[in-house]
Amino acid sequence: MNVVHSIRDLRAVLAGRAPIAFVPTMGNLHEGHLALVDLARQRCGTGGRVVASIFVNRLQFAPHEDFDRYPRTLEADCRLLEARGCDVVFAPDEAELYPEPQGYKVVPPPELADILEGAFRPGFFTGVCTVVMKLFQCVRPQLAVFGKKDYQQLMVLRGMVRQFALPIDVVAGETSRADDGLALSSRNGYLDDAERAEAVNLSRMLHTVRGHVRGGDCELDAVERRALEVLRERGWAPDYVAVRCRHDLQVPDAAQLAAGEPLVALAAAKLGRTRLIDNLEI
- Residue 159 within binding range of ligand PAF, rule CB under 6 A: no
Q: For residues 177 and 204, which CB has a smaller minimum distance to ligand PAF in the complex?
A: 177
| Strands across the sheet containing 49-54 | 2-4, 88-90, 49-54, 20-25, 143-147, 169-173
What's the closest the beta carbon of residue 218 comes to ligand PAF, in angstroms? 33
| 30 is annotated as an active-site residue | no
Is residue 242 within the footprint of ligand PAF (CB under 6 A)?
A: no
Going by their DSSP bridges, the two strands 263-271 and 237-245 should be labelled as antiparallel
276 by DSSP, 3-state: which? strand
Convert 8-35 into a string of H (helix), E (strand) and C (coil).
HHHHHHHCCCCCEEEEEECCCCCHHHHH
* Dihedral sign for Cα atoms in the order 251, 255, 256, 257: positive
Among 29, 52, 57, 213, binds ligand PAF (CB under 6 A): 57
| Separation CA 83–CA 165 (nearest Å) | 34
**Residue 24 binds to ligand PAF (criterion: CB under 6 A):** yes
Single out the residue of 38, 77, 87, 150 in contact with ligand PAF (rule: CB under 6 A). 150
Is 128 a residue that touches ligand PAF (CB under 6 A)? yes
Which one of the spans 11-19, 108-116, 124-132, 163-171 is the region binding ligand PAF (CB under 6 A)? 124-132
Which residues contact ligand PAF by CB under 6 A? 24-26, 57, 60, 128, 131-132, 150, 153
